[in-house]
Amino acid sequence: MSRIGKMPIALPAGVTVDLQGGHVSVKGPKGQLEMNVHPEMTIGFSEDEENTLLVTRPSDQQQHRALHGLTRSLVANMVEGVSEGYTKTLEIVGVGYRAEKKGNGLILHLGFSHVIDFPAPDGVTLDAPTPTTITVSGADKQSVGQTAAVIRAFRPPEPYKGKGIRYQGEQIRRKAGKTAGA
């Protein structure tokens, strides 16, 4: 058995799951997420415990073993997203580099000759609590991570001075600059 796939998914209070064939809909205080499950994977409520989901697979073929853990992880991420939500924090390093909130998007000043007007995708909330900090939050783990990666890609950290946009706590490997030749 897959160590991840066989683990039950506990449903916190306030989270409801609707299973219709291969379609899973999870609703909670932070929103609603839906997903189509691979037709060979089955999701059902546990008979032993209330408010728990189990993912089962039809056989021990390699594809079924891989889909077992994947399906369980995706559904567990949906449950966690609608109950607690996901947040990624980005830091901006560099003289004159800053971000400001405008409407539901951001305006980024990153040293280019123009400013970058970045609108928030559906289901994602962007905030700039300080001019050098950006928080990306939402219920869908994939869209939060993708949005943070897109923002970081505007000006990834460079290795000489460390200027750019980085994830909070990310370590940038620094390089030595040029040395004067003799």
CATH number at residue 100: 3.90.930.12
Question: Would residue 32 count as lying in a domain?
Answer: yes
pLDDT score, position 47: 82
Same domain, 20 and 61: yes
First to last CA, the chain: 65
pLDDT score, position 2: 63
- Amino acid occupying residue 53: L
User: What would the two tokens of residue 146 be?
Assistant: 């993708």
pLDDT digits (tens, 9 = 90+) for 57-73: 999 899 999 999 999 99
- Asked which of 83, 113, 146 is the last residue of a domain, the reply is 83
- Asked which of 38, 66, 83 is the last residue of a domain, the reply is 83
Reduce the DSSP state of residue 2 to 3 states and report it.
coil
Question: Would residue 174 count as lying in a domain?
Answer: no
pLDDT digits (tens, 9 = 90+) for 124-180: 999 999 999 999 999 999 999 999 999 999 999 999 998 999 999 999 999 988 887
pLDDT digits (tens, 9 = 90+) for 8-66: 999 999 999 999 988 999 999 999 999 999 999 999 888 888 889 999 999 989 999 99
Number of domains forming the structure of the chain: 2
pLDDT score, position 4: 85
- Asked which of 52, 83, 114 is the last residue of a domain, the reply is 83
Q: Where are the beta strands (DSSP E) in 16-104?
A: 16-20, 23-28, 31-36, 42-45, 52-56, 86-93, 98-102
Domain that holds residue 34: 9-83
Question: Would residue 176 count as lying in a domain?
Answer: no
Q: Report whether pLDDT(76) > 90.
A: yes
- Amino acid occupying residue 126: L
pTM exceeding 0.85: yes
Same domain, 47 and 101: no
Same domain, 69 and 13: yes
How far apart CA 168 and CA 156 sit, in angstroms, is: 13
Going by C-alpha positions, the residue among 9, 39, 43, 1 that lies closest to residue 24 is: 43
